[in-house]
Amino acid sequence: MAEQDSNQGMTYASAGVNIEAGNELVDRIKPMARSTMRPEVLGNLGGFGALCAIPKGYEEPILVSGTDGVGTKLKLAIELNKHDTIGIDLVAMCVNDLLVSGAEPLFFLDYYASGKLEVDQAADIISGIAEGCRQSGCALVGGETAELPGLYAEKDYDLAGFCVGVAEKAKIITGETIKAGDQLIGIASSGIHSNGYSLVRKVLSANNISLTEQKIEHKGQEVSIGEALLEPTKIYAKAVKELQTKVEVKGMAHITGGGITENLPRVLPENASAEIRLDSWEKPALFNFMQKHGNIAEPEMLKTFNMGIGMIVVVSAEQKDAALAALKELGETAYHLGQIIDQQETAVVYK
């Protein structure tokens, strides 16, 4: 009887889940989501499912979907207690993957899980997600906030994103027409983006490097290395969309985990390799810092980090100059990295 009495009065809150905090967060999210809306979205945030129509003008629309996370970059955001940009990373990692197929991002959903829901922190995170959606032109239509005491440490949280886009079937970019003589255009990254942070954190730990006290040159300014490492992933939606109106894009590769070495081959036909000149672009200081302090071999750097190139575009030789000019006009930093060659022993040949 005593054991039964001791269990009386238990609540969800006593188990570590605060429903009221969750409701407060939803109220704070709603205006953020409204700021990202597209005319195709039906209904409001808060339903059991999000409704979205296919945009007008597509003759044979094909839906393109993708999902991703942010990885251990989250650990740096937690350590620095700065959470307002990590949501941009989440959107970028999903949206940039969709772009390589020639898709237009339509809508985005997120999953945010923590051991204890901190409303202010969560609102900061989702404000970044909304900003990423605005940059991408896609709508934040919903998501899930999970409070999971006992599964996550007190300050830890995790994020996952889910994006759906649409492409005209006849204009889907497959890479099938890529051939020897085609040219490789690299669009600059904003930093390390959201891959390789387990190695980054290992380098920092092994050298007792302070996120706040260690300074580094980043984008022409001296900043703390923590600030440089939290630079959000660049979103290429507007640049890629505009570029496709100027030239024929034969293939694209989003340079994420695996670097150029692993990602560029994903869009190459079997009879082709890529020849890349390593001196064709300027590697940001952040990568040189990591390589030096981690004593990391160059091949390892090239298959772990983006090395300053976030997206690679394949165009014909005749359209190389037009592609570079278009990207420059859009305010992008772009480089002529090299060319497509006949198949070699390796899919990417560095010169």
CATH code, 167:
3.30.1330.10
Per-residue pLDDT tens for 325-341?
999 999 999 999 999 99
Give pLDDT, residue 8.
67
Q: Do 294 and 339 sit in the same domain of this protein?
A: yes
Which of 139, 171, 203 is the C-terminal boundary of a domain?
Answer: 171
Give pLDDT, residue 53.
93
Q: What is the CATH number of the domain that holds 330?
A: 3.90.650.10
SS3 content of the chain, % helix, strand, coil (to 5): 35, 25, 40
Q: Which amino acid is at 182?
A: D
Apex 109 CA angle, 105 and 113, nearest 5: 145
pLDDT mean over 254-274: 96
- For CA atoms 18, 49, 28, 90, give the dihedral sign: positive
Give pLDDT, residue 27.
83
Give pLDDT, residue 45.
67
Which run of H or of E encompasses 84? none
Q: Do 99 and 207 sit in the same domain of this protein?
A: no
Q: Do 159 and 98 sit in the same domain of this protein?
A: yes
Which run of H or of E encompasses 281? none
Which of 171, 194, 209 is the C-terminal boundary of a domain?
Answer: 171
Q: Do 243 and 343 sit in the same domain of this protein?
A: yes
Split at pLDDT 50, 70, 90, the class of 4 is very low
Find where tokens 């600059």 sit: 188
Q: Is residue 2 included in any domain, yes or no?
A: no
Q: Is residue 7 included in any domain, yes or no?
A: no
Looking at the 3D structure of the chain, how many domains does it have?
2
Residue 119 burial (10 A CB sphere; 0-12, 13-18, 19+) = middle
Give pLDDT, residue 46.
64
Give Cα 4 distance to the centre of its chain.
Answer: 51
Per-residue pLDDT tens for 62-105?
999 999 999 999 999 999 999 999 999 999 999 999 999 999 99
Give pLDDT, residue 10.
81
Q: Do 188 and 128 sit in the same domain of this protein?
A: no
Q: Is residue 8 included in any domain, yes or no?
A: no
Q: Do 189 and 132 sit in the same domain of this protein?
A: no
6 has pLDDT over 70: no
Q: Do 22 and 142 sit in the same domain of this protein?
A: yes
> What domain range includes position 140?
15-171
CA distances from 11 to 8, 16, 18, 152 (A): 9, 9, 10, 20
Percent of the chain residues topping a pLDDT of 70: 97
